[in-house]
Amino acid sequence: MSTSGPEHSHQPATPSQRSDIAAQEYRFSVLLIDDQLVVQEKVRRAVRSETDIDFHFCSKAADALAKAEACQPTVILQDLVMPDTDGLDLVRQYRSSALLANVPVIVLSSTDEPLIKKDAFLAGANDYVVKSYDTIELVARIRYHSRSYINLLQRDAAYAALHESQKQLEASNAELKRLTHTDGLTGIANRRYFDDYMKQEWLRAQRDKTPLSLLLMDVDCFKLYNDTYGHVAGDDVLRRVGAAIAAGGARPADLAARYGGEEFAVILPATDAAGAKELAEKICRAVAGLGIAHTTSKAAYHVTISVGAATAYPVQGGDIVGLIKRVDDCLYSAKQSGRNRVSAAE
Ligand SMILES: Nc1nc2c(ncn2[C@@H]2O[C@H](COP(=O)(O)OP(=O)(O)OP(=O)(O)O)[C@@H](O)[C@H]2O)c(=O)[nH]1
């Protein structure tokens, strides 16, 4: 048994400290709030030989709440009648304290009066012992209430740990999902996600009877760029071009993806041919506007792209492969007619 008096000053444990406490090995800890020295001595003697029970006491009602919050007992023994204070007022204060709300309280009383007992339980006491108790019974009750409080803390700590690990798992899954959808070099969607998204939007366009447009774009004379400036610089161009393309599609459903190598694609749900062509022109201008020097390009003195654009009405039939083929033909035609331009299907 260890003891402490009210003169010990402790900081109250915070909720997180309490959950740390809950993860530790618990000791039973009893706090007696009683002004009578004789009662203190009786309880002290009762638990003296119990090596797993710590004993604390407080003789002043005014210090009781702070003392209880500081020492975080596993059970409080509360005197019913104290100078200037009704012990039940203190019980109510424990119940209103975030740190003590669930700490078991045993009321110590000199009377067995049923109405007083009733008031004690209404105030939030868990048990009621008449001061003529024998010490074996008191120790048994201290153990019983302490054990159930510790079980409660350990259960709360287990729930909190479970909740935390669920949150971490969800965050890891979200990150994993993001990574499986993202192209490592450019940070925009990858080909796998492009394929999934295209299927999903094709079906949506079929259901909603809306058009679905696709842009396919390719960096002009990119082999010459790599040959002139090196692959590392080439990678940087792909990153910057990818960002410019992604910035082009302004609607939330638009999806820019790296289609492969130096090819990019933009899926434009609910967008007709005129809208697709307009956006294609805008992206083409945006990439040229980056002003990245490309002195060996056959299209300009800076990095440019060629863009193919086509639109499908899935409700009328056709398939994704057919749409991609038409866009690819347009891209080929843009390349053939001089690069740095848009070729849109009629
Ligand atoms: N740096 C870099 N180069 C890449 C990457 N992926 C593809 N390339 C290069 O892109 C170049 C594409 O060359 P081509 O298909 O001949 O086309 P191009 O030189 O752009 O010519 P046009 O399309 O006709 O304008 C090849 O040299 C590829 O090695 C990449 O991730 N990083």
Active site residue 278: no
Q: Are 103 and 93 in contact (CB under 8 A)?
A: no
Straight-line distance from the first to the last Cα atom of the chain, in angstroms, rounded to the nearest whole number: 91
Domain with CATH 3.40.50.2300 in the chain: 3-160
Domain with CATH 3.30.70.270 in the chain: 191-344
Q: Could you tell me the CATH superfamily of domain 191-344?
A: Reverse transcriptase/Diguanylate cyclase domain (3.30.70.270)
State in Å: Cα 185 to ligand 1 middle.
14
* Sheet of 263-269, strands arranged across: 255-260, 263-269, 212-219, 305-312, 342-344
**Which pLDDT belongs to residue 201?**
98
Backbone angles phi, psi at 29, to 5 degrees: -145, 120
Helix ranges restricted to H, the chain:
15-23, 37-48, 61-71, 87-96, 114-123, 135-181, 191-208, 222-229, 231-248, 273-289, 320-336
* Long-range CB contacts for residues 290-297, cutoff 8 Å, separation at least 24: 290/240, 290/241, 290/244, 292/237, 292/240, 294/220, 294/221, 294/224, 294/225, 294/228, 295/228, 296/221, 296/224, 296/225, 296/227, 296/228, 297/220, 297/221, 297/224, 297/225, 297/339
Cα distance between residue 313 and residue 205, in whole Å: 7
**Which pLDDT belongs to residue 20?**
52
Residue 298 alpha carbon, nearest atom of ligand 1: 25
Taking the whole predicted model, whether its pTM rises above 0.95 is answered as: no
Q: Which of 25, 164, 201, 262 is catalytic?
A: 262
Task: Give the closest residue (by CA) to ligand 1 atom 13.
Answer: 223
Residue range 3-160 forms a domain whose CATH class is: alpha beta
- Ligand 1: which of 185, 191, 222, 336 to mutate, most ligand atoms within 8 Å of CB? 222
**Which pLDDT belongs to residue 7?**
36
Tens digits of pLDDT across the chain (346 residues) = 444 443 333 444 455 555 454 445 678 999 999 999 999 999 999 999 898 999 999 999 999 999 999 999 999 999 998 888 899 999 999 999 999 999 999 999 989 899 999 999 999 999 999 977 788 899 999 999 999 999 999 999 999 999 999 999 999 999 998 899 999 999 999 999 999 999 999 999 999 999 999 999 999 999 999 999 999 999 999 999 999 999 987 789 999 999 999 999 999 999 999 999 999 999 999 999 999 999 999 999 999 999 999 999 999 999 999 999 999 999 999 999 999 999 999 7
- Residue ranges around ligand 1 (CB below 6 Å): 185, 218-224, 226, 231, 234-235, 238, 261-262, 335, 339
Q: Are 53 and 73 in contact (CB under 8 A)?
A: no
**Cα dihedral 303/274/249/247 (nearest 10):** 30
State in Å: Cα 223 to ligand 1 middle.
4
